[in-house]
Structure 1
Amino acid sequence: MEKKYTNTANLLTFILGSAFGILMFLVPIPHGATFTTLLDFCCTFLKKGFGASLPYIVTACVTFAGAISLYDYFCKPAWIREHDVFSKVFSSSPLYLCSKVMGAIFAIMCLFKVGPEYIISVDTGATMLGLCNTLFCIVLSFSFIMPFLTDCGIMEFLGVIMRPVVHPLFRVPGRASVDLMASWFGASNAAVILTREQYNRGFYTKREAGYIMTNFSLVSIPFCLIIATTIGIEQYFPAFYLCICLVGIILAAIIARIPPISTVPNTYRESVGKNLDEHVPEDVELLPYAVEMACRRANSFGIKGIISGGMEVTLGMLFDLIPIVLSWGILALMVATYTPIFQWLSYPMGMYLNVLGVADAFKVAPATLVGFADMFIPALLITGIESVETKFIIGVLSLVQIIYMTEVGAIIIKSEVPLNFGKLVIIFLERTIIAIPLIVAFARLVF
């Protein structure tokens, strides 16, 4: 007889543990004119607590990562190579080794404001060091709270409940709805990290993880309001955000069915295999089965797993991911800010916008592509545009493109999901080209 996991202890773990995870990640908390999450409050608290020392701590972590990775590459010490976590963090390929070393050099230059202006300026290095300061605090608060959202059963419960809707529409497990909510109410990079960890543990296939990362990792609602305010259309925010949601859903439904996402192997991580089952047996009711799956997951939840899993995620983020995000982000911003590359590449986009009747089409064309580097740059490029409709269109577009190298792009490439730089470029262009006419049509209804 198959063992049943629905008992008082597991139910309490599922309900109370999941409630804490939902409260921290997904429940919107009023904050001034908008709202945020308790996880964001934790991040802000840590930033204030570290104060002026935070950039020095981040620079020290990045420098340490570069130095130890160099030591590992040339000396191959057993204490790193024979340790699962340390080998993942410090044993790097030549590309990632160069990225880590470059990140250490950039961090030191930006911290002490020495070196060329195009590396340390507020538009490049200073911006990325500030972003990494925030990412550092997100990681510290995220890593040990994440298990309450992923390991107490709520993802299994929602996976069974939501699968009849989510799977036909997006071709992903029902549990992906949690990733989407974590992004909407929290931060896109936190949602990508959540997806990466779920893939590493066998809950998503390569295709599902890649798809979720590139389609569900929308920026948070508070940041959408910041963009609307920056470009001067905050009075249209309800329509602005509604357009983001509708276009985002349509894009997600389309991108799931076309290359390169559709060509990614639909197989699980080889070293882990499949750890997911959301199919409801024919002779079982939906809700009791969802509760049973949640309790089965809650049965293995414990403090030891929280500490060990949290430490592994923390070390990986601090010494492997942040140095690469810093180096790649600065390089991307240098290209976007100090070279005419995006001006040259954007001419076809200007023609596209012009055919659709968008005012100042060629003037705002670079803003349609520069978001690949960072999501905030398009808003800065169009602040001088007079047409409210055009600002609405570009503002929405910048927030549904998703593939921002400074935020989520580097995290995706560094993960084991088989989406390289070239595929991310293609997905970014697909999202851009498909989204523009949809946004233009919506804007015509508003203005």
Structure 2
Amino acid sequence: MFGSQSWEDDDHISGETVTPTVKSINEVHFVDKGLHSTLKFIVAFATGAFFFLFPVQWEGQTTIPLDVLMTLITDTSVFAVEVFTLLVLFAGGILTTISMLHYQGTIALSERARRLVEVDYWQTSKLFWTFRVTAMFLGVMMFFGVGPSWLLGDAVGGIAWDVLMITIVLVIPLGGIFVNLLAELGGLEFIGTLAQPIMRPLFDLPGRSALDSAASWLGSFSIGYYLTRNVFDRGGYNKRDVFVICTCFATANLGTVGAVAAVLDLLDIFPILVLLYLIATLIVAVVLVRVPPLSTVPEEYVAEPDPEPMFTGTPTDYLRFAFNEGVRTAREGESIPRAALNGFVDGTKLTAMILGTVLTIGTCVLALEAYTPFFEYLAAPLVPVMTALGIPDPQMAATAILAGAGEYFIGATLVVKADLVTKVFVVVVTSAQAIFFAASLPMMVDMFDDIPMRIRDLTALLILRTVLLIPIAAVLTHGAVTIGLI
């Protein structure tokens, strides 16, 4: 499993002789910045950052503007939000069914219908197809309050529908609006370019990989995978680059971390959560890129190698270059209203894709947690570790971390009633795990089958990440408490 021969392919191009050119950053052509393009970048960047990271006072609490927007919507009509949730749930199940029946040859769609339905987007495995269809029935029962008492009770349906579903269906589409302003109108390039000087020495990655990482953090891991796949196909990344980027940097995005923070009533310290989670992610990446299995992946290319030039320059040069790239992207991008609309549409599509899986797996996990000792037995070896690290509610924390490896949102639901320190600790660990059996793992296996990424290797990486994250997250959480950040 850990040998380099596991990933080697005679048809692929060895990267042993590939050497990037070195030039000064001052040799880069800087675009002429018009007032309109500059203001467009600044407004889009400031708006996106404001809604996610700017603390505001609301009803006696410190929170972020995104939480205020969600509260205003739910206060206006919870029923409308529940109806929207059910519609999104059904859209995901129906469109997945159409896609799967098309690819199985059961139905034949015209070219126009394939484009309209976007069959490639909804294609998945038979298991996740089952999850999405099952969720349609669960959603109907929970929405109308019809079904067995164990399902509709507070411990299962009360969390799965009233908390988890309602939160996800608001946070991700609304968050998509502001994420897209950052991702499509220059924020992605600005943040990524500033990070380039640290990517090679710390992670042995091309500077351009900062853009993929920022795409995952600002958009979603699926966006990060998509960007990585495109660059890989053009020879910009080798196999090792791809494996490292996907398993170390395509972690939970700001929108989903925000959703979990909302579920746990932690939006008042959301910027602190993001800071702790990013620090933990970077520390783990520094370690994992230097040990198997990541260190044994060969530097092979599937296309003619196109290595990134090595730049040199002062911090001021990089800041000037980053601003230049941000303005360039904003100038070439769509208008701010169009980018916002596209973000909402993309966020709603992503919600429709994951909502059924989250509801089905979440219901099963919550039922197991509420009515059986399954997770208590499974988490038992971790409980002494949690206790030794000074984490309150050690059993709850250990159970949540293991459940979070199945589906990111589920781990959070298990610590809804836990101590504040436990909530923060669990959010940091689960947000940075990167590999989830309900979504990211099967997507990586399917999208990068020519590396190949295999379930056994990804499982080994998940275990390694979790083992490293537990003590790191504990130290960061206790540190934040000590200096009064939480």
Give CA-to-partner distance per residue, 1:215-260, whole Å, 9 cap, x none: 776945993995799xxxx9xx999999877656533433444456
2:325 is equivalent to residue 289 of structure 1: no
Take 2:272 and 2:39, find their aligned partners in 1: how far apart are those partners? 41
SS of equivalent to 1:82: helix
SS of 1:280's equivalent in the other structure is: strand
The 1:75/1:30 distance shift into structure 2, 3 A limit, reads same
Asked if 1 retains the 8 angstrom alpha-carbon contact of 2:397 and 2:415, the reply is no
Shift of 1:279: 5.1
Structure 2: which amino acid aligns with 1:214?
T
Change (3 A) 1:90 1:309: same
Conservation of the 8 A alpha-carbon contact between 1:132 and 1:322: yes
Shift of 1:326: 1.9
Moved more, 121-130 or 220-229: 220-229
8 Å Cα contact 2:41-2:326 kept in structure 1: yes
CA distance in structure 1 between the partners assigned to 2:60 and 2:260 by the alignment: 9
1:168-179 equivalence runs, <5 A: 168-169=201-202, 173-175=209-211
Secondary structure class of the residue paired with 2:332: coil
Distance 1:425 1:23 in 2: 37
Q: CA deviation at 1:436?
A: 4.4
Q: What is the TM-score with the length of structure 2 in the denominator?
A: 0.67
2:32 aligned with 1:6: yes
Query: Match of 2:17?
Result: none
Paired AA for residue 6 in structure 1 = D
Confirm whether residue 402 of structure 1 aligns to residue 435 of structure 2: no
Could you tell me how far 1:104 is from its partner in structure 2? 0.6
CA distance in 1, matches of 2:29, 2:386: 60
Is the 2:41–2:330 contact (alpha carbons within 8 Å) kept by the matching residues of 1? Answer: yes
Three-state SS of the structure 1 residue aligned to 2:311 is coil
Q: Does 1:346 align with 2:379?
A: yes
Q: Tell me if 1:280 matches 2:306.
A: no
2:44 is the alignment partner of 1:17: yes
Structure 1 counterpart of 2:349, from 316, 332, 339 = 316
Deviations 1:405-434 (A, max 9, x none): 9x9764534645667876665555434433
Using the size of structure 1 for normalisation, the TM-score is 0.72
Query: Could you say if the C-alpha distance between residues 362 and 57 of structure 1 is closer, same or farther in structure 2, counting changes exceeding 3 Å?
Result: closer
Residues 402 and 411, structure 2, Cα contact 8 Å, conserved in 1:
no
The one-letter code of the counterpart of 1:36 is: T
Structure 2 residues not aligned, in runs of 5+ = 1-26
Structure 1 runs not aligned, ≥5 long: 183-189, 384-390
The residue type paired with residue 165 of structure 2 is C
Deviations 1:93-120 (A, max 9, x none): 4223212111111111211222334433
Mapped to 2, the partners of 1:428 and 1:144 lie a distance apart of 31
> 1:164 Cα shift?
2.2
- Say if 1:202 and 1:276, in contact at 8 Å, map to a contact too: no
Using the aligned pairs only, state the percent identity. 19
- Deviation of 1:301 after TM superposition, in Å, equals 0.8
Report the equivalent of 2:115. 83
Deviation at 1:2, TM superposition (A): 8.5
Deviation per CA, 1:10-63: give whole Å up to 9, x if none. 333322332222223332323456533333333333333442122222113322
Structure-2 change in CA distance of 1:362 and 1:160 (3 Å): closer
1:261-293 per-residue CA deviation (whole Å, 9 max, x = no partner) reads 6677989999xx999969536699333322332
**Partner residue of 1:207?**
244
1:90/1:153 CA distance change after superposition, 3 Å: closer
Alignment of 1:92-107 (within 5 A): 92-107=124-139
Instruction: Tell me whether 1:326 sits opposite 2:363 in the alignment.
Output: no
Q: CA deviation at 1:345?
A: 2.0
Structure-2 change in CA distance of 1:312 and 1:279 (3 Å): farther
**Does the residue aligned with 1:75 lie in a helix, a strand or coil?**
coil
Quote the residue 2:370 is aligned against.
Answer: 337
SS of match in other structure, 2:32: coil
The answer as to whether partners of 1:162 and 1:177 remain within 8 angstroms in 2 is no
> What residue number does 2:464 align with?
430
The one-letter amino acid of 1:213's match is A
Change (3 A) 1:399 1:68: closer
Contact (CA 8 Å) 1:143, 1:314: kept in 2 or not?
yes
1:318 to 1:441, Cα distance in 2 relative to 1, 3 A? closer
Matched, 1:142 2:178: no
Per the alignment, residue 186 of structure 1 pairs with none
C-alpha contact 1:214 1:402 (8 A) present in aligned 2: no
What is the distance in 2 between the residues matched to 1:91 and 1:221? 25
Distance 1:264 1:53, change over 3 A: farther
Distance 1:154-1:354 versus aligned 2 partners, 3 A rule: closer
Q: Deviations over 1:160-214 (max 9, x none)?
A: 22322355345664447857986xxxxxxx6656646755775994531432233
Between the aligned partners of 1:20 and 1:362, the Cα distance in structure 2 is 40
